Structure 1
Amino acid sequence: MQYLRKARSVPCRWVLARNLILVAATAAVTSRTAFATTACNTPSNTSTIGNQSQYNKISNMDSAPVYEAGSSSVAFVTTPDKESAKKLAHGIIERKLAACVNIIPQIESIYMWEGKVNEDNEYLMMIKTRTARIDELSKFVRENHPYSVAEVISLPIQAGNAPYLKWISQTVLDSKEKRENENE
């Protein structure tokens, strides 16, 4: 019995730690107060570690206009296994429907389905994209997902690291920019 208690406590701690990180990341992405809307990298508030050329690279990235709250989103999709998650992630990135997909293994889902409470281990995909592309992303997931009813939910990003948000917008073109590039 004591062996079972020890065997269960270690994975539970890992699961708890992973879940706390996921909740914190989600809260940080969706909370306006979590980050400034623009980065302010001046020599007085940057770390003394590193050299001036690293500072210049960061400064150049921050010369972007102020981030428009809600123009990017994080979408969440669950899958039954790692292979399904990776296949969807590759398709999403190849089609430039998102800039990045994180796959979080072995989340525990408890849900109501066909009148019964179900409990399953799933994989969670955290997908960073432009809000304007959520409908296309949802359509792609629905057409390629192993579940008959795929979970696709999104939350707008209110604020964050300005260079990262700029990278999302440069990597994932909105529908209008996509059409303009195709016509060229």
Structure 2
Amino acid sequence: MTTHYRLIFTTCANKEEARAMAEQLVQLKLAACANILPEIESIFSWQGEITYANETKLLIKTKSEKMNQVIQTIKKLHSYEVPEIQVVDVTTGNLAYFNWMDEVLG
């Protein structure tokens, strides 16, 4: 069973960018909560080169009907040319937490 809740991942250039994005998403009621995981090491291919970067991971908790707005907001605020945006369907969890999300997000 899939719920109508989504977890959206993005990787930011630094903690300040992640915090600004998280604050905007919560203020706009597009996210009930966002978690910032500071200082992750990323290794990826970019423009034909292996690239190493210290980044910050942002985990965004939202509802499916707000997902497209979250994605557009990330693209608008992000410093990367091609930001990582991955959406995970939430299949189950704590009903009390989901009720809180419904209350916060409307």
Tell me the TM-score normalized by structure 1: 0.55
Asked if residue 170 in structure 1 is aligned to residue 91 in structure 2, the reply is: no
Could you list the per-position Cα deviations for residues 65-119 of structure 1 after superposition, in whole angstroms to 9, with x for gaps in the alignment? Answer: xxx7330010001101111011101100000000000000111111111111111
Higher relative contact order (CA 8 A, sep 6+): 2
RMSD (Å), alpha carbons: 1.2
Which residue matches 1:119? Answer: 52
> Which one has the largest radius of gyration?
1
Could you list the per-position Cα deviations for residues 12-70 of structure 1 after superposition, in whole angstroms to 9, with x for gaps in the alignment? Answer: xxxxxxxxxxxxxxxxxxxxxxxxxxxxxxxxxxxxxxxxxxxxxxxxxxxxxxxx733
Which residue matches 1:141? Answer: 74
Counterparts of 1:70 and 1:113 in 2: how far apart (Å)? 35
Counterparts of 1:106 and 1:162 in 2: how far apart (Å)? 31
SS at match of 2:31: coil
Tell me the TM-score normalized by structure 2: 0.94
Runs of 4+ aligned structure 1 residues displaced above 6 Å come to none
Give 5+ residue unaligned stretches, structure 2: none
* Structure with the higher fraction of residues in helix conformation: 1
Counterparts of 1:141 and 1:107 in 2: how far apart (Å)? 19
